[in-house]
Amino acid sequence: MALALLHAAAATAAVTGQASLYSRLRGNAELASQFRDAKPLLDAAGVKLVAVGIGTPERGPAFCDHLAFPRECLYADPTSSCYSAIGLYKGVGETFFSPSTPYAILDRIKRDGAKDLLGVLSNWKVWIPPEQSQALQQGGTFVFAGERCIYQHFDKSTGDHAPLKAVLDAAIPKVVA
């Protein structure tokens, strides 16, 4: 199944002639909230949102309900096979102990006061992955135009997510007058 989900997203985009946005959530409430809020813009532009989270299909609905995230957009990857196949970073050095972690958080504070992060902390819930080692998995965000990847972001460390504006700029076609 490793890349089947990505191929399905790309195939859907190729058939519709629209973009598709793929992101891994790994229990990330902040990222899920950003994409949930951006979904009306994505829908209006015909962009399909596909989010893959480490976890079981049985836990997915609870995650969606907790964050009001659309269930039809979330797919479960209990073994992290999709993450591994894409080559997303994993390990202690790539998570909490990476030198880029404090810089990623500092950049977000400078950009917008880390408002999305602070917004989810008031409703924080711990999501424990099926396997302990999955807690050290980083994610990424990808935008496809047809089968071609036109934007990619590999999270380098904890707190390093693709800037939403950059993702939306890649995913939503601009009309040039």
Q: 3-state class of 12 per DSSP?
A: helix
Instruction: Give per-residue pLDDT as tens, 24-41.
Output: 554 577 788 889 999 999
- Return phi, psi of residue 10, to 5°: -65, -40
Position 114 confidence tier, pLDDT thresholds 50, 70, 90: low
What global pTM score does this model have?
0.73
Among the listed ranges 99-113, 145-159, 161-175, which one has the minimum average pLDDT value? 99-113
Q: What are phi and psi of 158, to 5 degrees?
A: -60, 130
Q: How far apart are CA 32 and CA 68, in angstroms?
A: 9
User: How sure is the predictor about 116, in pLDDT bands with cuts at 50, 70 and 90?
Assistant: low
The pLDDT score that the predictor gives to residue 87 is 83
Q: Determine the pLDDT at residue 161.
A: 82
**What tens digit of pLDDT does each residue of 49-74 get?**
888 888 888 888 988 898 899 999 98
The span from the CA of 57 to the CA of 67, in Å, is 16
Q: Give me Rg for the CA atoms of the chain.
A: 16
Per-residue pLDDT, averaged over 109-130, amounts to 64
Residues of the chain with pLDDT > 70, as a percent, come to 66
2, amino acid identity: A
- The model's confidence at residue 138, banded by pLDDT at 50, 70 and 90, is confident
Which residues on neighbouring strands pair with residue 149, listed in sequence order?
144
Do 155 and 92 meet the contact criterion of CB atoms below 8 Å apart?
no
Residue with tokens 């693709």, as numbered in its chain: 162
Measured CA angle at 95 (ends 10, 129), to 5 deg? 65
Domains and CATH numbers, the chain: 4-171 (3.40.30.10)
Q: Is the per-residue pLDDT at 162 higher than 70?
A: yes
